[in-house]
Amino acid sequence: MKPVYIVGAKRSPHAKAGTDLKDVAAPYLGSYLIRHLLDAAGISNTDVDEVIIGNVGNPAKYPNIGRVIALEAGLDKQTSGYTVHRNCASGLEAVSQGFLKVASGRSEIIAVGGVENMSQIPLIYSEEMTELFIDVMKAKSVGDKLKAITQFRPPYLSPIIALEQGLTDPFCGLNMGQTAEILAREFNISREEQDAFAVRSHNLALKAQEEGRLAEEILPLAVGSKLNKLLSTDVGPRAGSSVEKLAKLKPYFDRKSGTVTVGNACPITDGGSALLLVSEEALKKYDLEPMAKIVDYHFHGLEPERMGMGPLLAMDGVFKRTGMTLEDMDLVEINEAFAAQVIAVQKTLVDKEAASRFGVEKAWGEIPDEKFNVNGGAIALGHPVGSTGSRLVVTMAHELKRRKAKYGVASLCIGGGQGGAIIIENLVK
């Protein structure tokens, strides 16, 4: 396999669904990033082999969002573009496909990333209402139309919330929050533990914001109905959050005895991220300074009802594949879908017996606090599902560079019962 370099990595600011980015159609959360990355690298718009974009709630208007983004980014019309879907890891799937294509020597330059506008995930008409519409459209005479319309019953109008449906596992029938509740129960993770974890995330994110550490990775985006404002920072991290305040929130998924609240889970969020992956040859041709190198990645499946343990299996897989260990890592990012789920992963990393319940033979060890989700995670920054996989790589590449550190692993749990992990090596000394 040939080496694969990251020469640019940027993300959009994140904003909680329904706020600043609600009107930004999903392609625009990615196209401007790619245009900028190519500008910064000085790569011509005819030289990109492919654009691969992760996206989950595929907008009806943009059936193949990857191709739309390629065109909106100003790439030559001959550039191939496609969309990948691996739920919460769609962005990571895009990165890994780009990695494989460059590593195999098939491609020289690939733009990868993910976008998600969760604000715009639609409500869907019920099956009854849809059929009624079809009947009315099919009706040839006014009489037939009227007859069809009389079939209408008010309950037909109650919509199906696509977002809610998307966050429910079709196989085990559980909502993602409910899978987190299972882990909280089985690993005996208290409400306080989870809330404290959430506070940590907010505080770290706020500190990073204040110290301008996120400015390097965020590319400001035009927002507002007239597109005349620039959003440069994440809308999400909350100042002054505390365990006491979070304790007041009601459990959301198990209202009676549950511990998972909207406060210790990641918020529904809009955002996008992108990276530019190139071969050694492209590096030379364009005289580029690489930012990082992709070492390898791994995806792994597990029971859908315990999908939150995905990072354990994925990290285990990528370590075994590369012969590296947790100790080799200077930074570890585990996506914070739910505090309960991340805490459960941390516990199995140090408990061989617990790990073995998931088929993992080794306790990889404790993640030092100063290396773990150092700028906060999805609980504070949000989790635009299609983007998070690539967003974690963007964030980690910048933080490794800033620290002049070497290796980092980013992993995340995937709805449906999977985990994904990737290791990158910083090349900026």
Partner 1 sequence: MSVYKKISYEVKEKIAYIGFGYNNDKSMTVLDEDTLKELDAIADQLKSERKNLEAAIFFTHKERCFLAGADISLISAMKTEADGAQGAEAGQGIFNKIEDLPFQTIACVHGVCLGGGTEFSLSCKTILMSDDKSTIMGLPEVKLGLIPGFGGTYRMPKKIGLPNALDLILSGKTVNARKGKKMGLATEVYPKERIVEMAKKHIGRSQKKANLKESLTDFAQDNFLSRKVIFQKARESVLKKTKGFYQAPLKILDTMEAGMMKSRSSYLASEAQAFGELCVSEQSKNLQHIYWMTEKVKKFPGPKGEGEIPSLKRGACLGAGTMGGGIAWLMASNGMAPLMKDLNTEALELGLKQASSNFQGALKRKKLSRDDFERKMRSIHCQTDFTGFKKVDLLIEAIVENMDIKKSVFSETEKYMRDDALITSNTSSLSVEEMAKALEKSERFAGLHFFNPVHRMPLVEIITHSKVAPETVEALYNWVLKTKKTPVVVKDGPGFLVNRILMPFLNEAGYLLEEGVSMKDLDEACINFGMPMGPCRLLDEVGIDVGVKVAKILHDGLGDRAKSSGLSAKMVEKGLLGRKTNKGFYNYDESGKPTGANEEAQALLPSSQKTMSESEIQMRVILPMINEAAIILDEKIVETPADVDLGLIFGIGFPPFRGGLLRYADSEGLERILSAIEKFSSSVDKDRYEPAEFLKGLVADKKKFYDL
**List of residues contacting partner 1 (CB under 8 A):** 25, 28, 31-32, 35-36, 39-40, 42, 72, 74, 220, 222, 226-230, 232
Beta carbons of 55 and 83 less than 8 angstroms apart: yes
Please say which residue, 219 or 397, places its beta carbon nearer to partner 1.
Answer: 219
Enumerate residues 6+ apart whose C-beta is below 8 A from 416.
87, 169, 171, 304, 307
Beta carbons of 236 and 14 less than 8 angstroms apart: yes
Beta carbons of 283 and 2 less than 8 angstroms apart: no
Please say which residue, 41 or 423, places its beta carbon nearer to partner 1.
Answer: 41
β pairing state of 109-117 and 160-161? unpaired
As a whole number of Å, the end-to-end CA separation of the chain is 24
Rounded to the nearest whole angstrom, what is the least distance from the CB of residue 315 to partner 1 in the complex? Answer: 35
Please say which residue, 74 or 368, places its beta carbon nearer to partner 1.
Answer: 74
Rounded to the nearest whole angstrom, what is the least distance from the CB of residue 254 to partner 1 in the complex? Answer: 42
What burial class does residue 293 get, using C-beta atoms within 10 Å of its C-beta: 0-12 exposed, 13-18 middle, 19+ buried?
middle
Rounded to the nearest whole angstrom, what is the least distance from the CB of residue 226 to partner 1 in the complex? Answer: 4
CA distance 238 to 19: 15
Mind telling me the catalytic residues? 88, 383, 413
Tokens representing residue 305 in the block? 């009802």
Rg of the Cα atoms in the chain: 22
Please say which residue, 25 or 172, places its beta carbon nearer to partner 1.
Answer: 25
Rounded to the nearest whole angstrom, what is the least distance from the CB of residue 211 to partner 1 in the complex? Answer: 18
Identify which of 428, 415, 310, 365 has the alpha carbon closest to the alpha carbon of residue 86: 415
Beta carbons of 110 and 48 less than 8 angstroms apart: yes
Please say which residue, 72 or 181, places its beta carbon nearer to partner 1.
Answer: 72
